Amino acid sequence: MTPPHDLPALATLSARIGADPLLIQGAGGNTSVKDGAQMWIKASGTLLADALTRDIFVPVDLPAMRSALAAGDPSADQPAAFALSGTLRPSIETSLHAVFSQRIVVHVHCVNSIALMICADARARLETRLAGFNWASVPYVKPGAQLATLVTAALGPQTDVMLLGNHGLIVAAQSVADADALLTAVVTALSTPPRPMPAPDMAALTHRATTDYIPCAATHPLHGVALDPEQLAAALGGSLYPDHVIFCGVGALALGPQETAEAVAAKRQSQGLPAPVFLLVPGIGALIRADASPSALALSRCLGDVLARLPPGGQPLWLSDAQNADLLNWDAEKYRQSLNAN
């Protein structure tokens, strides 16, 4: 198939934003371009940062995907059924891109947008920041056809900015340059300086470390979560966004004064869950698994980056147990995890 004329420009934008951990973490986020009856979208499990060095875009049948969504056909949640070539699966969020009329769609997991969209009063906080933009927002639902349907209902004739509860940000435009400019403008409007982070107690942290759990680097933002009571409460309250659940597990765990990392990990595993990727040591700092995958490392840092920007007094909305379970048992996400593991 002949790729769209502006796919190279989209690849350049994709690689740039994919290298920015404040916008994209690991294999998160996706971009697409529509070209007649085709939509070229990032493949599941690939990295936007690799867009200039490998083929990460997959063509899909756009009219067929839209028809499946409109009919409530379960196949809309199986993007691979709409792939027109290649061996990789289209992004699990293919249906979400399909509902926008604009040619270019960019979906990022911007930490500044997540920090606002995990708050119970997110809409009120956005009103002033996004004045002048054609924006809308939706509450959290699992990525896929259900989210695409919710976004469809929220779209107005001119909507080109969409905020997703506990998830991220979408911008849409007719050209790559316009999408780039719109993304920059929205991110600027949403940006909040991170809270100052006290220095972790690296000596005490080293004392709590093990072969499996080692101290994060002294400047790692995850230390701030362990050192700030408000951030710590938000992290321990539960899961705040989908990719955290996929790559770091449900919520976060803290070590008690007399607990060992091995004991906490063993308890987690006895519950049928993976050993935690990181452990918070209140008032001291953070430990991380020595064998953590690149995506787990990226999402651990993301939690620190997000909570460092949590609005003072912001009441987090955590994912429910059922929502966590939906993500952990989702075949599409198991596929993405397997690609990242490799």
Q: What is the DSSP string of 174-190?
A: SSHHHHHHHHHHHHHHH
**The CATH homologous superfamily of the domain defined by 7-190:** Class II aldolase/adducin N-terminal domain (3.40.225.10)
The DSSP letter of residue 76 is G
d(CA 225, CA 232): 5
Contacts of 269 (CB under 8 A, 6+ apart): 275
Furthest-apart CA pair in the chain: how many Å?
Answer: 62
Whether 329 contacts 246, CB under 8 Å: no
Phi first, then psi, for residue 168 (nearest 5°) are 175, -155
* d(C-alpha 60, C-alpha 65), whole Å: 8
Residue 45 near residue 27 (C-beta atoms within 8 A): yes
User: Model pTM greater than 0.85?
Assistant: yes
Q: pLDDT 10s per residue in the chain (342 long)?
A: 899 999 999 999 999 999 999 999 999 999 999 999 999 999 999 999 999 999 999 999 999 999 999 999 999 999 999 999 878 899 999 999 999 999 999 999 999 999 999 999 999 999 999 999 999 999 999 999 999 999 999 999 999 999 999 999 999 999 999 999 999 999 999 999 999 999 999 999 999 999 999 999 999 999 999 999 999 999 999 999 999 999 999 999 999 999 999 999 999 899 888 899 999 999 999 999 999 999 999 999 999 999 999 999 899 999 999 999 999 987 644 444 444 454
240 strand-pairing partners? none
What are the structural domain ranges in the chain? Answer: 7-190, 202-341
Residue showing tokens 């969209």: 117
Could you tell me if 279 and 261 are in contact, meaning their C-beta atoms sit under 8 angstroms apart? yes
Beta strand segments in 122-262, E: 135-138, 161-164, 168-173, 213-215
